[in-house]
Amino acid sequence: MAAPALEPMAEEFKEHGISFVFVYTREAHPCDERPAHASIDQKIANAKDMVDRWEIKRPMLVDDLDGTTHRAFGTLPNMTYILSASGTVLYRASWTDERTIKMALDQILIERGLRRERTRVSPYYVEWLPGRTNERQVFMQGLANNAGPRAVEEFIGAIAHTAGDASRRASSAVVG
């Protein structure tokens, strides 16, 4: 789970003026213990429970009951965005992966240093499909056991929707 894993990184980058915020969008895997939210009060209570359970120290924002933020930024339960102070998306990942987040943040700090030295830094677009360790069958079985078949179906649908074009291009790319 990304919640506790990013706490040390949030602390590390705080001294560089980088703030980490957790956006609680929805119950990622609704089940009997934590069903899909029926009210904003229930959603806020579940978010507070998550903060306590996982000892999250970062500020946590709670999306509205309709999931406006979740739909605007993608529907996967574990996405990561790095935004500039002006709101420009600097990094977007369909899955929270500490290693690639750290790489992106280190690059952002390098670019800050270059700008301080008055070196011209121009943005460019990169499309990258890194791998992460993933025992898919174990994950899906755990998801099914803990949250039920609906959660499995929603997860598969969200992956198909979010990965879309990049996954298709990567699977047909020729490395030369």
Asked if 118 and 144 count as a contact pair (C-beta separation under 8 A), the reply is: no
Q: Where are the domains of the chain?
A: 2-132
Q: What stretches of the chain adopt beta strand conformation (E)?
A: 22-24, 60-62, 80-83, 89-93
User: CATH second-level architecture of 2-132?
Assistant: 3-Layer(aba) Sandwich (3.40)
SS3 163: helix
Measure the CA angle with vertex 23, ends 17 and 27; round to 5°: 155
**Rounded CA gap, 86 and 84, in Å?**
5
Q: What is the largest CA-CA distance in the chain?
A: 56
Per the CB < 8 A criterion, the answer to whether 105 and 61 are in contact is no
- Provide the total of helices (H) and of strands (E) in the chain, helices listed first: 7, 4
pLDDT tens string, the chain, 176 residues long: the values are 566 789 999 999 999 999 999 999 887 777 667 788 899 999 999 899 889 988 999 999 999 999 999 889 888 878 899 999 999 999 999 888 999 999 999 999 999 999 999 999 999 999 988 888 777 888 788 778 767 777 788 778 877 776 665 544 444 444 44
For 163-173, write each residue's pLDDT tens digit. 665 544 444 44
- pLDDT on residue 149: 79
